[in-house]
Amino acid sequence: MPKISVIIPVYNTEKYLDKCLKTIINQTFKNIEIIIVNDGSTDNSQKIIDKYKEKDSRIKAYSIKNSGAGGARNYGLDRAKGDYIGFIDSDDWINLKMYEKLYNKAIETNADIVTCYMKYCIGPIKVMRYKDYKINDNNSSTNIVRFIPSPVNRLYKKHLFEKVKFPENIVQEDIALIPYLFAKANNVAQVNKFLYNYRFNLKSTMISNILRVNHKFYDSIEAIGYLKANFNKLSDKYPEELEALIIDQIFMKLNMLPYSFNLKKKEKKFLYNTLIQYLNIIQPNWQSNKYYKTELFKVLFFKFSKFLANRLYFDKKHITYQTKEEIESIIYNFLKQKEG
């Protein structure tokens, strides 16, 4: 039985897939199974997958109808046999010793999650940044809030995924699940080395959603619902941490608005104030949250964007308290209109 199951969702990444798969099959840690899930690609990705499947018997390749990265990861999880789970995005690549180092750290510390540092790579230039903060202790509540909710650059014990899955067909499926896994973990460890290379694609869905607001902008609100449902399984063990995550997601959306070229100023103002209204209803005491004051908003970008957006868009007269469901419907219908 393999010790690690590596799951790679693939969607139209023929340009980068060869480099990604080379770094996986050549890992110094050999006891892995490689689960590749072609998520409805329309380019030559499948030909590349077939080529590597012939080379390496550890590769298990599947093709499914497009259901987003969440659906592809779920498909892989249902078939994984390893004690630990790893995820890699198919346009990224990893250090050849990454899984050896992560696995050894997991065994040494009996950790449920082991993480490493990540490089952001923009074109040929490598920009080194901490994707995760440095662990100084094993304070679970702090880990939940500080770690960016990306599924990659980590190993997870398989049992963490019992009775939970990624939501499908939304672009923010990681937000809905990864913080919950950190909350569920008994021990989190870290390898303090840059072992994962994240390709920052200027044509990615994330960048597209910043520059052009459409109905996918709503996905973070849907992800919040999944996240709250997952945290309910912990019997309200981390209420302030969950609130901090919700604040963070709403403010991520607020901070995008000044840079969205397809919205007029009055539309940005409407959406900004409606999101604030939504936050005031679902988390009425959010401004008292300890993480809001100390952990979440230290980055200059967020502080500047919040200042800018407040100057441009905030309007107390706009706030007319409706129900959560009515506001969700208002936001969703507004975004659907902007899709075209």
Closest to 211 (Cα-Cα) out of 264, 269, 261, 249? 261
The answer as to CATH 3.30.1330.10 being correct for domain 4-201 is no
Q: What is the pLDDT of residue 32?
A: 98
Looking up tokens 């969440």 gives: 70
Q: Which residues contact 127 (CB under 8 A, 6 or more apart)?
A: 119, 120, 121, 200
Q: What distance lies between CA 61 and its chain's CA centroid?
A: 23
DSSP of 174-197, one letter per residue? HHHHHHHHHHH-S-EEEEEEEEEE
Count other C-beta atoms under 10 Å from residue 222's C-beta.
20
Using left for φ > 0, alpha for ψ between -120 and 50, and beta otherwise, residue 12 falls in left
What's the CA gap between 235 and 161, in Å, rounded? 17
Q: Give the type of residue at 84.
A: Y
Q: What is the pLDDT of residue 37?
A: 98
Q: Are 23 and 100 in contact (CB under 8 A)?
A: no
Looking up tokens 């900004």 gives: 272
What's the CA gap between 273 and 323, in Å, rounded? 15
Q: What is the pLDDT of residue 310?
A: 64
Report which DSSP code applies to 45: H
Please compute, for residue 74, the number of CA atoms within 13 A of its CA located in the half-sphere on the CB side.
18
Q: Are 16 and 91 in contact (CB under 8 A)?
A: yes
Count other C-beta atoms under 10 Å from residue 16's C-beta.
18
Segment holding 10, helix H or strand E: strand 4-10
SS3 (DSSP) at 198 = strand
Strand 4-10 with 84-87, pairing: parallel
Sequence spans of domains, the chain: 4-201, 206-338
Q: Which residues contact 328 (CB under 8 A, 6 or more apart)?
A: 221, 278
pTM of the model: 0.89
Report residues of the chain scoring pLDDT below 50.
299-301
Looking up tokens 């809030």 gives: 145
Q: What is the pLDDT of residue 300?
A: 46
Q: What is the pLDDT of residue 132?
A: 59
